[in-house]
A = this chain, B = another copy of it.
């Protein structure tokens, strides 16, 4: 039985606990908090009643040494570096659900997160935790930078096509639509029920910080810089993200190649479903599950490629993928604790 700790007590922490309750090879030994120290976790999250009665402990990383084989960092951006360092020194594997180790270029980090990176040397060491793309590196890693929710939905469909050189690496449009839990549990006007319900709006147009993360990974996949734009929208729902991307077939490439490449890339994957011709994904089909559904539309005449992906932002887009990764880090079967189906309707 592997022992894991969680640093943080927001929505992604709660989602980790939901998933870990069904994991028969892993046990949660500690949850660290800053605002709810001393409270029982099932008082904070009554959906855990009857399953967890852990008391939230102060956020001192030293508390975890000797009590954990692996640790999830579920912290606001900018706080992960010192905790990760302490864990790694203590020989504990780390999956960071925040953004602090995702961008390889510290200058980009500084620009978008408005903070000088505290340990740029760690950026090279951290493996980007998009499990389907980096599985082998993850198995050997100490530190995994768990991808953002939007990047997971944007990169999975596009990366294999760029790697195969069958779509153009410029003029890519990524138009994403997210539920509200992506903004976390913190109170802000944009999460007030009455400001969200019965409406939709875009935000961070042209400037959202997950844009560079997507661009980095698409560029790695294609072997050269992509030129793309990313626009997130807030949808009145709790969970999930739908991502609609628009790209162009390279000249001379048959439209059917898109499906061939994606099916070849993800055919054996447990958590990626390439939907049949004519079926477009609905986020409701992946609600609460670790699945990504991908729909494909290609118009060969105009060379347009429209890819639509659906995932649950808290599961495959955060805690589910984190669990996938820690399973690998700790030598367990990748899918353990992740086989639950989507809750529908």
Contacts of A11 in B (CB 8 A): 194, 345
**Is A238 a contact of B197 with CB atoms below 8 Å?**
yes
In the bound assembly, the distance between CA atoms of A210 and B206 in angstroms comes to: 27
Chain B residues with Cβ below 8 Å from A198 are 197-198, 237-240, 284, 287, 345
Interface contact A284-B47, CB-CB below 8 Å: yes
Expressed in whole angstroms, the Cα–Cα distance for A277 and B199 within the complex equals 21
B residues within 8 A CB of A203?
280
In the complex the two chains form, is A306's CB within 8 Å of B22's CB? no
Answer yes or no: A282 CB below 8 A from chain B CBs.
yes
* Bound complex: CA A93 to CA B239 (Å): 38
C-beta contact mask, A32-66 vs B, less than 8 Å → 1, else 0? 00000000000101111111000000000000000
Q: Name the residue among A11, A18, A276 with the largest chain B CB count within 10 angstroms.
A: A18
**Cross-chain contact B194 with A310 (CB below 8 angstroms):** no
A282 CA to B196 CA, complexed, in Å: 9
**In chain A between 293 and 313, which residues have their CB closer than 8 angstroms to a CB of chain B?**
293, 295, 297, 299, 302, 304, 306, 308, 310
Segment of A119-127, A128-136, A182-190, A321-329 in the binding face: A182-190
> Which B residues are CB-close (under 8 A) to A202?
242, 244, 280, 295, 308
Residues of B within 8 A of A28 (CB): none
Provide the residues of chain B in CB contact with A177, threshold 8 Å. 177, 200, 233, 235
| A196, closest chain B residue (CB) | B193
Point out the residue from B18, B231, B246 that lies within 8 Å of A341, measured CB to CB.
B18
A239 with B345, Cβ < 8 A, contacts A197-B180, A275-B46, A308-B202 known: yes
Instruction: Check A291/B49 contact, CB under 8 A, given A200-B235, A284-B199.
Output: yes
- The answer to whether B200 and A240 have CB atoms under 8 Å apart is yes
Inter-subunit contact B306/A229 (CB<8 Å): yes
B339 touching A201, Cβ below 8 Å: no
Chain B residue with the shortest CB-CB distance to A201: B282
Q: Shortest CB–CB separation between residue A203 and chain B, in angstroms?
A: 7
**How far is A253 from B320 in the complex, measured between Cα atoms in Å?**
46
Asked if A261 is at the interface (CB within 8 A of a chain B CB), the reply is no
A27 CB–B CB distance under 8 Å:
no
Ordered nearest first, which 5 A-B pairs have the shortest CB separation? A199-B284, A194-B345, A47-B342, A201-B282, A187-B187
Instruction: Pull 22 A–B residue pairs with CB atoms less than 8 Å apart, ordered by A.
Output: A46-B275, A49-B285, A51-B339, A51-B341, A171-B171, A177-B233, A180-B193, A187-B192, A191-B194, A193-B193, A194-B345, A195-B284, A197-B237, A198-B284, A200-B235, A201-B242, A201-B280, A201-B282, A201-B310, A202-B280, A205-B306, A233-B242
In the complex, besides A187-B192, A202-B280, 4 extra interface pairs with C-beta distance below 8 angstroms are A171-B171, A175-B175, A187-B187, A191-B194
